[in-house]
Every structure is written in structure tokens, then in C-alpha cells.
């Protein structure tokens, strides 16, 4: 699933509907968080707005493909033909309180009203905004429609005639992204890219009180609680805030948890829950009273998570745990895919995908390696035996023909990936447990890190040791090649990360200092520009691979040792597994130029071209930016 652009509750609070940049709508059980049925497909662009009908029988969606669609909420089937008429992306849709009408706002600067039963356009489209319409809503009595626009204004319309009611509401100094009525219809709230929320008198259009400040970036979504006592807001600053609707004072601390922009927020019908959707590809549910997250995504292991890895296409994540199981997760939604992979009788220390994504391998303290079908989760063939100690690390060769494993028995073994048979004798040389193994990108070399404080390089064809071994002052817990094969990185119990020249074995620059406890895992970003490290100090750090400088602040959400880190294939996300039994997904922190690219990649399509042209200063960077423009809808 892509960025979650819109969220909504059913009126009875039992279902949640979400719209995503991946062009789908999904329905979820509000209590369990499980996906209900198949996702709804039909749009050819990102889904920016979704809503349940008041009777909960239908769902409407608005998309960047310029259409509105109606769906059967029970079956997920499309109802009738798409509603066509807008000549720009549809940013917002809403039902009238009686469910007879649908209103939509578009980038084409207009609002349209539709018959919910027939799908026919009702009357003339509403014009007056000079720029795109980002948000529309009906008043609780159905007599009025409000709209918020890129022209920085809010407009009120007569829902029956389509005529404007009084002058536009002026006050915001940047795009108005979201508007909503209070439950009693007496107030209007608006959220804007000027970082503020404003409250308006719905009858007179006058501004009420001071504007609400606290967000550090633009406000994308606002909503009233069902009792009208509170307001919630979601922002580009990755937080949700709760406000006292009467005084405008903040209620409690901001709600932290999302690692990307918060695009949409909503209350449950009983006011007890808040739901939020984010560019981090997750939906979160919060207790409206305490502000605490209700449930945790990606928490189903019963013990610590020792190893995590992305599939090559970035769609799935696998994790291996001390609870003896491997789990597969949807990288977009965080939902568990299928049942746990059971079979090991000891801690699962290492997991990896095959290059074609069809197989998963796992290494365990039970001294075996197992191969699994990534689609079905079934065990493939007999488990691989030969090590006399626990298997600490496993990896596929780049061509998928071989598997390597490192073990507490101090050896590295090579296996035929198809038959499971051992290929030549074990690679001997380490004098203590082998903690990590990896192939070079061209498959010609194998590296290994050991508790004997050394890194060794091996010829993958002959098994011979290549050159002198490389050393830390304590155990080497993790090793990895750079994507171009030019460098090796290693993480150690001496609290440092080191970079090495893969050809000469020479140390490159100074050790990377910053962690305050053992470095358990190291990885390169997919483009090789960043190094990621996870440590027993509970943090993940990001480093500039060229200079060795720390990039940004440490990532501090885990409450125990960080055992494993990995970068997504597209380089935008990092995953980490911890002894706190969780897997977490993070936005990658990058350098100034790349940060602009990352920022652009999470923005709605309407922002991309302008920002791209403003931020691209060189031909090569322009090419990268245009690729992102073509490839990323949000």
C-alpha cells in the first residue's frame, strides 16, 4: 500500500475505510485492524478522499484520475459507472446528511453536486474559487456546503441552489487544505499550509478567537469530535494534535508515532477513537482520551526480533524471532501476511529473501537452515544440516544459486540453493563464532565477521581466504558490501562502524563513533550513499557513506536492543527489528539535495512538478527529479 491519503469511520464505528496513493480503497475492522475483504480497485490514480454513506451501505471515493466512484460497502463491488465531469483531480468528496447527494471538490477550481442514487450531475457546478478546491463538506442540516481552496479562502454555498452565501472567509495566508463543520453547525474549522487552524462563525463568517498554532508545518486535515468539544488536526510535521474547541487551547501533548506526513484524521462515531493516515503508509488508531496509540502495527512476535529483511520489490518484510518463528508482513499496511512460518526449534537468528523473491531462508539456533516458499509459507525440501552450532547468519548469492551460512561452530558453509546439498568443505579460519556473512554484489567474494574481532574475505568459487583479515577491537557483529562492491562496512561490540576498501582491505577514513553500546547490525542504503546502523543502545543511526558524518538525529523509538536494520529497495524507508518484539518502519534521513527529492516524493501529484523544477539545479538532479515525478503519485 502506498501513502494513506484519506481515512474515515463508518457511522457505527465498526469499520474504517482508507484511500491510498496505490489507487486502491481498503476496508478494515476497526477493532482488530484486520483487512476486510479484497481491496477496492478501479481508479487509475491515487485515491485522495473516501467516505461512508450515512446508512453505511456505500462508500464514495475521489481520485486523481478525475472521477468519483461509488462502491457497495458490503461486497466491495463498483456501483454504476464512475461519475465524470471534473477536468482536474478530485481532491475531496462527501455525502449529504440524508445520503441523497454527493459533493466533490477538484483541482479544476469547481465544486460539483451529484445524485447519489443515479450518479447524475445536479445543477451547474459551483464556481468562484480561483484555484483548486482541496476540501468540501456539508453542514449537519444539509442546507450548506463549505469548500477550502488553494486560493487561501473558505467559501459557503447554498446546497440547494449552488449560490454563494456571503463573501469568502479570508484570513489564511496559504492553501486551505481541510474544512469541517461543528456537529451543531454553528462553527466551521479550517486547516492550512500556513501551519494554523482557524475557527469561523458559520452564520456570519467572522473569525472566532485566535487561530490555533502549534504545528510546525502545514495542516492537512481537521475534524470535530462528535460532541463538538474537541478539534483534531493532522500535519506535515508528522503529528496529530487535539484542541479544546471552545478555548482553542491544546489538549495534552501531540500524538507521535507516524514517520511521515499525516494526510487525514477522523473521529469514531462515539468519539473514543481517532484514526490517522500517513505518507509512512500506515493507519494508526489512538485513544481520544489519553492520546495513546491503540494497538501496535507489526507486533505479533512473542519474543525479540533478531533479523528483518525486505523483499526485492519492497512489497513485503520478513522477520525472524527468538520465538522460533518467521513472519511475513505487508510493507505498506503493516498487516501480517498468512500464518507464522513454524519449524525451527530454536531462536531464528537470520532471514533473507532469494533474489527472485520466491524463496525465504532462515538460520536458527537449532543448527539448521530452512527454505520456505515465500508465497505459501510452506517449507521447501529438507532443512539444511551440517553446522554443529547455531546458525547466526544466512544469505543468498546474487544469482540465487547458492546459500551461505555462518555459525557458532566458527565456520561458513556454502549450499546449493536448489538441492540443499553442501558445496565443497566448510570455510575455516575464524577462531570464534561467525556472526555475519554476505556476498559481494558480483557474487565473487564472501565476507564474514566474527567474535574473534576479525572480518575475513573469501573466494566464493574456491573457498580460499583472500588477503589479510581485517580487525576491530572487539567482536564483529555485522558486515555488508556497498551496492557497487567497492567498500565493506562492519559493526562491532567496540561501539564503532568501520569502512574498508573491498579490494585492498585498507581502512577508509576514521571509525564512525556515536553509538553508546554494541553495534549489532549495519546496512547500506540502496544507492550506497548512506550507512544505517542498529545498536544495543536502542537507536538506529544514519551516516554519510562518503564522509562518515552522522546524518540527522538518532532514531529513538525502540525500547530495547536493535538487532537488525535494512533499507528498502527504493531507499525511502528503513526497517528495524528489536528485542522489544517490534519491527518499525522509518523514513530515511538524507542529505540536502536528496532530502528535497524525498520531500517531493511524498507530496501529492499537484505539488511535484513545481517543487521539482524549483529544487533541481543540475541536469543529473533534474533527471532524478523527473523520474520521481513520473514514478511517484505522492
CATH of residue 72's domain is 2.130.10.10
Query: Is there a domain that residue 307 lies in?
Result: no
Q: How many CB atoms lie within 10 A of CB 57?
A: 13
Q: What are phi and psi of 626, to 5 degrees?
A: -65, -35
Query: Is there a domain that residue 452 lies in?
Result: no
CA nearest neighbour of 233 among 195, 188, 201, 187? 195
User: What's the grid cell of residue 500?
Assistant: 574498508
Q: Are 599 and 276 in contact (CB under 8 A)?
A: no
Spans of the chain, pLDDT less than 50: 296-300, 589-634
| Boundary residue ending a domain (252, 273, 302) | 252
Query: Is there a domain that residue 336 lies in?
Result: no
The secondary structure element, H or E, covering residue 136 is: strand 133-138
The total of structural domains in the chain comes to 2
Beta-carbon contacts of 309 under 8 Å, excluding residues fewer than 6 positions away, are 317, 318, 351, 352, 353, 564, 566
**What pLDDT, on the 0 to 100 scale, is given for residue 277?**
87
Q: How many CB atoms lie within 10 A of CB 176?
A: 29
| Boundary residue ending a domain (252, 280, 296) | 252
**What pLDDT, on the 0 to 100 scale, is given for residue 258?**
84
Q: Hey, CA dihedral for 38, 39, 42, 44, is it positive or negative?
A: negative
Can you tell me whether residue 448 is helix, strand or coil?
A: strand
**What pLDDT, on the 0 to 100 scale, is given for residue 628?**
27
CA nearest neighbour of 278 among 242, 316, 238? 238
| Boundary residue ending a domain (227, 252, 277) | 252
Degrees, nearest 5: CA angle 250-252-258: 95
pTM here? 0.53
Number of helical H runs and strand E runs in the chain: 3, 43
Beta-carbon contacts of 445 under 8 Å, excluding residues fewer than 6 positions away, are 439, 457, 458, 459, 460, 466, 481, 502
Pairing verdict, β 111-115 and 101-106: antiparallel
**What pLDDT, on the 0 to 100 scale, is given for residue 278?**
85
**What pLDDT, on the 0 to 100 scale, is given for residue 597?**
25
Q: How far apart are CA 65 and CA 45, in angstroms?
A: 5
Domain that holds residue 607: 594-631
Q: Are 128 and 113 in contact (CB under 8 A)?
A: no
User: What's the grid cell of residue 104?
Assistant: 466533490
**What pLDDT, on the 0 to 100 scale, is given for residue 329?**
86
Q: Are 507 and 499 in contact (CB under 8 A)?
A: yes
Terminal CA-CA length for the chain = 12
Query: Is there a domain that residue 553 lies in?
Result: no
Beta-carbon contacts of 103 under 8 Å, excluding residues fewer than 6 positions away, are 93, 94, 96, 111, 112, 113, 114, 136, 137, 138, 145, 159
Q: How far apart are CA 431 and CA 411, in angstroms?
A: 9
Q: Which residues of 275-307 are buried (b: 16+ CB within 10 A; e: fewer)?
A: bbbbbbbbbbbbebeebebbebbbebbeebbbb
CA nearest neighbour of 19 among 264, 360, 247? 264
Helices (H), 461-604: 592-601
Q: Are 272 and 289 in contact (CB under 8 A)?
A: yes
Query: Is there a domain that residue 305 lies in?
Result: no
DSSP class per residue in 143-204: SEEEEEETTS-EEEEETTT--B-SS-B---SS-EEEEEE-TTSSEEEEEETTS-EEEEETTT
Q: How far apart are CA 225 and CA 216, in angstroms?
A: 23
CA nearest neighbour of 331 among 313, 345, 351, 346? 313
Query: Is there a domain that residue 301 lies in?
Result: no
Amino acid at each position: 500500500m502506498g501513502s494513506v491519503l484519506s481515512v474515515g469511520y463508518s457511522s457505527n464505528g465498526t469499520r474504517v475505510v482508507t484511500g491510498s496513493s496505490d489507487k486502491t480503497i481498503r476496508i478494515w475492522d476497526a477493532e482488530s485492524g484486520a483487512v476486510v475483504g479484497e481491496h477496492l480497485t478501479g481508479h487509475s490514480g491515487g485515491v485522495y478522499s473516501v467516505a461512508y454513506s450515512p446508512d453505511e451501505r456505500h462508500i464514495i471515493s475521489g481520485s486523481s484520475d478525475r472521477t468519483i466512484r461509488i462502491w457497495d460497502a458490503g461486497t466491495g463491488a463498483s456501483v454504476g459507472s464512475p461519475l465524470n465531469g471534473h477536468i482536474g483531480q478530485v481532491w475531496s468528496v462527501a455525502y449529504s446528511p440524508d445520503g441523497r447527494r454527493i459533493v466533490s471538490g477538484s483541482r479544476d477550481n469547481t465544486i460539483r453536486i451529484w445524485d447519489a442514487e443515479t450518479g447524475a450531475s445536479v445543477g451547474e457546478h459551483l464556481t468562484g474559487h480561483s484555484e483548486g478546491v482541496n476540501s468540501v463538506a456539508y453542514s449537519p442540516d444539509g442546507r450548506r456546503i463549505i469548500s477550502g481552496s488553494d486560493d487561501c479562502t473558505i467559501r459557503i454555498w447554498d446546497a440547494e441552489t449552488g449560490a454563494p452565501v456571503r463573501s469568502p472567509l479570508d484570513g489564511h495566508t496559504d492553501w486551505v487544505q481541510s474544512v469541517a463543520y461543528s456537529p451543531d453547525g454553528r462553527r466551521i474549522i479550517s486547516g492550512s499550509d500556513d501551519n494554523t487552524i482557524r475557527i469561523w462563525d458559520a452564520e456570519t463568517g467572522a473569525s472566532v478567537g485566535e487561530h490555533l498554532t502549534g504545528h510546525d508545518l502545514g495542516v492537512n486535515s481537521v475534524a470535530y469530535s462528535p460532541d463538538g468539544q474537541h478539534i483534531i488536526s493532522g500535519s506535515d510535521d508528522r503529528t496529530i494534535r487535539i484542541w479544546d474547541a471552545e478555548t482553542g487551547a491544546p489538549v495534552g501533548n501531540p500524538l507521535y508515532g507516524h514517520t511521515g506526513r499525516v494526510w487525514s484524521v477522523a473521529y469514531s462515531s462515539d468519539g473514543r477513537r481517532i484514526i490517522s493516515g500517513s505518507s509512512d503508509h500506515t493507519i494508526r488508531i489512538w485513544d481520544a482520551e489519553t492520546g495513546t496509540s491503540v494497538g501496535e502495527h507489526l507486533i505479533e512476535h512473542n519474543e525479540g526480533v533478531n533479523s528483518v529483511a525486505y523483499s526485492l520489490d519492497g512489497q513485503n518484510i520478513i522477520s525472524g524471532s527468538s520465538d522460533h518463528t518467521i513472519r511475513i508482513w505487508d510493507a505498506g499496511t503493516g498487516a501480517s501476511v498468512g500464518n507464522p512460518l513454524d519449524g525451527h526449534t530454536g531462536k531464528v537468528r537470520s532471514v533473507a529473501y532469494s533474489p527472485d523473491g520466491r524463496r525465504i531462508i532462515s538460520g536458527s539456533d537449532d543448527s539448521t537452515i530452512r527454505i520456505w516458499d515465500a508465497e505459501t509459507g510452506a517449507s521447501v525440501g529438507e532443512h539444511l544440516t551440517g553446522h554443529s552450532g547455531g546458525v547466526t547468519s544466512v544469505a543468498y548469492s546474487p544469482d540465487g544459486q547458492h546459500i551461505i551460512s555462518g555459525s557458532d561452530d566458527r565456520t561458513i558453509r556454502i549450499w546449493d540453493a536448489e538441492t540443499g546439498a553442501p558445496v565443497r568443505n566448510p570455510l575455516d579460519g575464524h577462531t570464534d563464532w561467525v556472526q555475519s556473512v554476505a556476498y559481494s554484489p558480483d557474487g565473487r567474494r564472501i565476507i564474514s565477521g566474527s567474535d574473534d574481532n576479525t572480518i575475513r574475505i573469501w573466494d566464493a568459487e574456491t573457498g580460499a581466504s583472500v588477503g589479510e583479515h581485517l580487525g576491530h577491537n572487539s567482536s564483529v557483529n555485522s558486515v555488508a558490501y556497498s551496492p557497487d562492491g567497492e567498500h565493506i562496512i562492519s559493526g562491532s561490540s567496540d561501539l564503532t562502524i568501520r569502512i574498508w576498501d573491498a579490494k585492498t582491505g585498507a581502512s577508509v577514513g576514521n571509525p564512525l563513533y556515536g553509538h553508546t553500546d554494541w553495534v549489532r547490525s549495519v546496512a547500506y542504503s540502496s544507492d550506497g550513499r548512506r550507512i544505517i546502523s542498529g545498536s544495543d543502545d536502542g537507536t538506529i543511526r544514519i551516516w554519510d557513506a562518503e564522509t562518515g558524518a552522522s546524518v540527522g538525529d538518532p532514531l529513538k523509538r525502540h525500547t530495547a536492543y536493535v538487532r537488525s536494520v535494512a533499507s528498502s529497495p527504493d531507499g525511502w524507508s528503513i526497517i528495524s527489528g528489536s528485542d522489544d518484539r517490534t519491527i518499525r518502519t522509518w523514513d530515511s534521513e538524507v542529505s540536502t539535495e536528496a532530502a528535497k527529492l524525498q520531500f517531493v516524493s511524498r507530496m501529492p501529484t499537484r505539488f511535484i512538478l513545481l517543487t521539482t523544477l524549483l529544487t533541481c539545479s543540475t541536469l543529473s538532479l533534474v533527471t532524478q527529479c523527473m523520474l520521481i515525478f513520473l514514478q511517484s503519485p505522492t
